[in-house]
Amino acid sequence: MCRIDPANHDTALKRKGCQTVVMKGRPYRGYVFVEATALKTKGALSRWVGQALQFNQSRLVSRK
């Protein structure tokens, strides 16, 4: 599961193996589940981790 910028949510869903996180029947925009099959290469894993870290870092800065 990755927390990403909600503005990039629809674009992220176009990538293979990515879907919206649904909790208690409610879809969460900005949270995506990435299947393990979509993370087989270092590059793919790095892109997802980088996207999540970038967004979450921006959230930490905005809260100060």
Per-residue pLDDT tens for 8-47?
Answer: 999 999 999 999 999 999 999 999 999 999 999 999 999 9
pTM of the model: 0.81
Band (64; pLDDT cuts 50, 70, 90): low
| Both tokens assigned to 33 | 């589940």
Domain layout of the chain by residue ranges: 2-63
**Mean pLDDT, residues 50-59:** 88
Task: Place 59 in a pLDDT band, splitting at 50, 70 and 90.
Answer: confident
Inter-CA distances, 5 with 16, 37, 41, Å:
18, 22, 23
Tokens of 40: 């087989």
